[in-house]
Structure 1
Amino acid sequence: MAAGRGVGTWLREGVWEIPLRRYLALLVTAAVLAGLVVGARVVLHDDRSCAPGVARPEGSDECVGVATTAFDFGHPQLRDTVQAIARENARLKPGSYVTVAVMLPYTSTATANLADIEHELQGAYLAQYQANHDSNGQSPVIRLVLANPGATSQYWQRMVTQLAGMTGGTDRLRAVAGVGQSTDNNKKAVKELTRLGIPVVGSSITADDLANGQGGKDPYPGLARVSPTNTDEARALASFAKVSAGRALLVYDKPGDPYTRTLQTSFAALIKGSPYEPQPFTPPADRSQEGTTANTFRQITNLVCDTSRTTDTILFAGRHTQLRQFINALGGRGCQDRKFTVLTGDEGSYLTGEKKLDRSALGHNLSVRYTALAHPDAWGTGSPGTGGSAADMATLTGLLKSAEKAPVGPIGTVALEDGQLIIAYDAMRLAVHGIREAVPEGKSVPALADVGLQWPQVKGSLRVDGASGWICLDAHGNPYDKAVPIVELRAEGGSRFVRIAWPEGKPPSGECLPPS
């Protein structure tokens, strides 16, 4: 540095001016890049949100959680019903309502499952509308939200955590209805919900181990159901079909899930002493998938033909995808001259509109009958004087007529044959009944803990007159001697109601009081 020239002089003359300018530019660039990185993280995080209360977990494209707005989970067939629910929710005044969550696997992609979900959601909405408009001003009014644990209920913990957070504040969640199929993940979800004191009303769950009262224990305190257990369905089926051990063969899912395992146990008890070894098949873990079980069923049909000519009944303990594969295989069996009847549980209802079912198989000396949860023709001419009535079903059909247009509807394409709309309507009506019966005198909203305590009193004059039949609950929250429609698949499409059967072998008395 030359004598007499300081740092300031060098800066003024530009000797350091360029390096300093570059340094500052680098700092600014770094800051901008850092901001972009942070912003990108925020954007990516926000991209996982699907709708209020619903988001995609890391590593998944499913939108799971609790939807509180008109979100259809990417399924156009749900849109009309979802929007109808949103309109009804929007008209409710803050502080006047409690919330009920409809838990179903909304992100399922299986066609039969989606039809089930659509119909269950329609039934739940119709019960909500009825409760809010046709109950002579009873309170509280009901707000519905949609709780999705994922297609296979893999994210049940995430959903349960959200629901638990909704029991207070303005949401005031007071029950969860629906649940979906009897699977291991749904068992875990119901176990945790009831452990947290959240009442659950199962619509289509039938597994014996997803019920209270087995062995005198109540592992799910606060759980009520509107569908019979698999054991009760099997008892009703036996009273109808007169199943004989020497004339029946059991085909079952191995290792099974809660539905198929308890159905297998119930069927095995009916044909104890059968000369034939039960025939297992092993489906994919996700039983809505095809897998390779069609090959197994082709082999089992050969064994069916190997049985003595007095054998005419096949008891099938499996899910609907495998049932469809089995029926298709039986259509090509070698012994076409022999008549067989396949008897199965309520999963048979999924096949009423199943396009992959080879209905020509039903014209080859083959009948398929199943225990439905409900059927629109069950309460027609000749129905029993107790256990249900045509008038109760007519109330629902009247609501459906109103839902064809505003203000009630539209709610999309309606179908009653599979029974899902009917049973979901009844489940929501039971939830509303429990909520309103739990309201203390002088109050308008019940305590969460009090709702689940109402189930043992739902009997006698306090029963719920469901469209599927009377709902009279025992001390464990299970329906007593519930009507079980026996339904047959038709070769020309759809199904045919055969008759009502009863777990007790006959309808309940007019009092509908379970025995001790």
Structure 2
Amino acid sequence: MPDRFDARLRRRVRTPRQKLVASVVTAAVVLGLGGYGFARLTQPENRSCAPGVARPAGSEECIGVNGTGHDFGAGDLRAVAETIRDENAGLKAGEYVTVAVLLPLTSTDSGMRAKVLHEVQGAYAYQRRANQESNGQRPTIRLVLANTGQGNAHWRTTVDQLVAMADGPDRLRAVSGIATSSTEMREAVTALTRARVAVVGTTITADDIANGPGRKPYPGLARVSPTNSDEAKALAHFGRVDAAKALLVQDTRSGDHYVDTLKAAFAASLAKAPLEPQEFTSAADSTQEGTTANTFRNITHLICDTRTETVFFAGRHTQLRQFINALGDRGCVDRAFTVLTGDEGSYLGADKKLDRNALRSRLTVRYASLAHPDAWKPAPGRTLPRTGGSAQAYADFAEDIAKAAPKNEPVALADGQAIIAYDAMATAVHAIRQATPEGSAYPSKEDVGTQWPQVKGSLRVQGASGWICLDNYGNPYNKAVPIVELAQDGTQRFVQMAWPEGNPPTDTCLPPKKG
């Protein structure tokens, strides 16, 4: 017992030297941990996602510009982003310029996500053609993806980055995409064009995000899609609607340029309609369901009280789907109705919340599409227009999109988004190369946007969606408008080509004098 006690005592009693060593070690540990904690508190958090991309304060979205394969956290973009990375990696320094595709890449709305994917796929397909199958023309094209975030909320951050790239070694010479007619995108176009960066809109159709006689708020802006007014004119020429049996259903929410200008265009077409429009008010974020489904249930009762046969719908696709679902459950199911709307109808094919049974209740849904894979394909019993587009131009696109598809996975084409994005890239590349002086490797940023008035006649772009003949303000003249019907199984069926001017353009495709 004494021996064990002495042993324990010897282990617990420390010499002065041992105490000193223990104090030093303890202090070092405490100071080390404290220094680590202090550094964690004082050093900014690393919010980088990839080169050129970071998470803004208060947001978990990856915002910015990248061409090295980053998918912005959107897994469906991974394959095409990596393919773009590989194409960019093969370009020689000093021989390329950059084109950006500006889109809300991290949108959580299912319809917008499908649209974004198809647009990026279409843009890459033309990048590949420009670099690999254009007889060695220069400059070559580097493609980058630019994310504006959910609802385009972070457009300013990304646009500022793009403007800086135009003056730096990236040699940004055009921005494509601009896929929604929203206030945020109008501001983005304003900022880019004021900085003399050329912009080619893909699916912006609002009449007020455009230049025109006596006004050029967006110097350097071109568009490859018809305006809402042109869509409405094309629908009117196609439908020959009896205004006495037509009704307009419209969103009262203002500030949405697609809806506002579509309302105005439809109202002009229905000037002789006997009844006032039926109105609803969508949520501030029109991709949200809100309470409009209840409103549509009531509107369908009122429609049954009228002589209406054709309903013109001015609203976004979420509300369009709700309206169709309500019409499918209407009381007067014995009566036939046709719904006519703008290009937002292209989202319906992929909308899983659409009640397909509604389309079997004597209800026809047709919309003015921006492009369709069957519009320029030869088919039994159908004669293709002699002008305004060509089967060969579409066949070239079909070959390109097949070659560009990652892992040979087919690209969905029925919504027209890949086709129109391909044509926008074709238009951007056309202007870039036309603006490149003899003996120079690339054009100045200011010269690209000045090319639009010459994109007409024999210098038109042979688009897969139809001829792209621009007027002096960068707007397409008498652009082909495919009328598409949503079939009972949800597929998007091409019905007929329509034209804003009533007939296809002449061989020269030269816009008449305006104003």
| TM tier, smaller | over 0.9
Contact in 1 for aligned 2:402/2:410 (Cα 8 Å): no
2-side partners of 1:121 and 1:268: how far apart? 34
Give the superposition deviation at 1:39: 3.5
2-side partners of 1:180 and 1:91: how far apart? 28
Q: Which residue is equivalent to 1:388?
A: 389
Q: Which residue is equivalent to 1:151?
A: 150
Q: Which residue is equivalent to 2:497?
A: 500
Q: Which residue is equivalent to 1:357?
A: 354
Q: Which residue is equivalent to 2:175?
A: 176
Unaligned runs of 5+ in 1: 1-13
1:247 alignment partner, one of 240, 245, 251: 245
Contact in 2 for aligned 1:100/1:176 (Cα 8 Å): yes
1:309-458 counterparts in 2 under 5 A? 311-381=308-378, 382-404=383-405, 409-410=406-407, 412-458=409-455
SS of 1:152 mapped into structure 2: helix
Amino acid at match of 1:217: R
1-side partners of 2:285 and 2:229: how far apart? 24
Q: Once structures 1 and 2 are overlaid, which stretch shifts more, 17-26 or 330-339?
A: 17-26
Contact in 2 for aligned 1:78/1:412 (Cα 8 Å): no
2-side partners of 1:164 and 1:411: how far apart? 35
1-side partners of 2:22 and 2:486: how far apart? 82
SS of 1:216 mapped into structure 2: coil
1-side partners of 2:96 and 2:328: how far apart? 53
Q: Which residue is equivalent to 2:120?
A: 121
Give the superposition deviation at 1:38: 2.2
1-side partners of 2:466 and 2:64: how far apart? 33
Give the superposition deviation at 1:22: 6.9
Q: Which residue is equivalent to 1:56?
A: 55
1:230-309 counterparts in 2 under 5 A? 230-256=228-254, 257-308=256-307
Q: Which residue is equivalent to 2:463?
A: 466
Amino acid at match of 1:65: G
TM-score, normalised by the number of residues in structure 2: 0.92
Amino acid at match of 2:117: E
Cα separation, partners in 2 of 1:185 and 1:411, compared to 1, 3 Å: farther
Q: Per-residue CA shift, 1:168-214, capped at 9, x if unaligned?
A: 3321100100111111111111111111111100001100111111x
Give the superposition deviation at 1:275: 1.7
Give the superposition deviation at 1:493: 2.3
Contact in 2 for aligned 1:396/1:467 (Cα 8 Å): yes
Give the superposition deviation at 1:153: 0.8
1-side partners of 2:276 and 2:33: how far apart? 73
1-side partners of 2:353 and 2:25: how far apart? 69
Q: Which residue is equivalent to 1:97?
A: 96
Amino acid at match of 2:296: F
Contact in 2 for aligned 1:320/1:351 (Cα 8 Å): yes
SS of 1:322 mapped into structure 2: helix
Give the superposition deviation at 1:294: 0.6
TM-score, normalised by the number of residues in structure 1: 0.92
Cα separation, partners in 2 of 1:367 and 1:441, compared to 1, 3 Å: same
Amino acid at match of 1:364: S
Cα separation, partners in 2 of 1:411 and 1:451, compared to 1, 3 Å: farther
Q: Per-residue CA shift, 1:350-370, capped at 9, x if unaligned?
A: 111221111111111110000
Contact in 2 for aligned 1:489/1:496 (Cα 8 Å): yes
Q: Per-residue CA shift, 1:288-309, capped at 9, x if unaligned?
A: 111111111111101110112x
Amino acid at match of 2:39: V
Q: Which residue is equivalent to 2:225?
A: 227
1-side partners of 2:472 and 2:483: how far apart? 27
1-side partners of 2:194 and 2:400: how far apart? 35
Q: Per-residue CA shift, 1:463-487, capped at 9, x if unaligned?
A: 0000000000000000000000000
Give the superposition deviation at 1:35: 4.2
Contact in 1 for aligned 2:127/2:141 (Cα 8 Å): yes
Contact in 1 for aligned 2:67/2:81 (Cα 8 Å): no
Contact in 2 for aligned 1:232/1:503 (Cα 8 Å): yes
Q: Which residue is equivalent to 2:69?
A: 70
Q: Which residue is equivalent to 1:33?
A: 34
Amino acid at match of 1:237: L
2-side partners of 1:134 and 1:373: how far apart? 26
Give the superposition deviation at 1:400: 2.6
SS of 2:166 mapped into structure 1: coil
1-side partners of 2:397 and 2:479: how far apart? 19
SS of 2:45 mapped into structure 1: helix
Contact in 2 for aligned 1:246/1:274 (Cα 8 Å): yes
Q: Which residue is equivalent to 2:6?
A: none
Give the superposition deviation at 1:37: 2.5
Q: Which residue is equivalent to 1:488?
A: 485
Identity %: 58
Computed over aligned residues only, the root mean square deviation of the Cα atoms, in angstroms, reads: 2.0
Cα separation, partners in 2 of 1:27 and 1:75, compared to 1, 3 Å: closer
Q: Once structures 1 and 2 are overlaid, which stretch shifts more, 244-253 or 220-229?
A: 244-253
Cα separation, partners in 2 of 1:37 and 1:254, compared to 1, 3 Å: farther
Q: Which residue is equivalent to 1:11?
A: none
Amino acid at match of 2:427: L
2-side partners of 1:200 and 1:115: how far apart? 22
Contact in 1 for aligned 2:67/2:84 (Cα 8 Å): no
Q: Which residue is equivalent to 1:45?
A: 45
Amino acid at match of 1:216: G
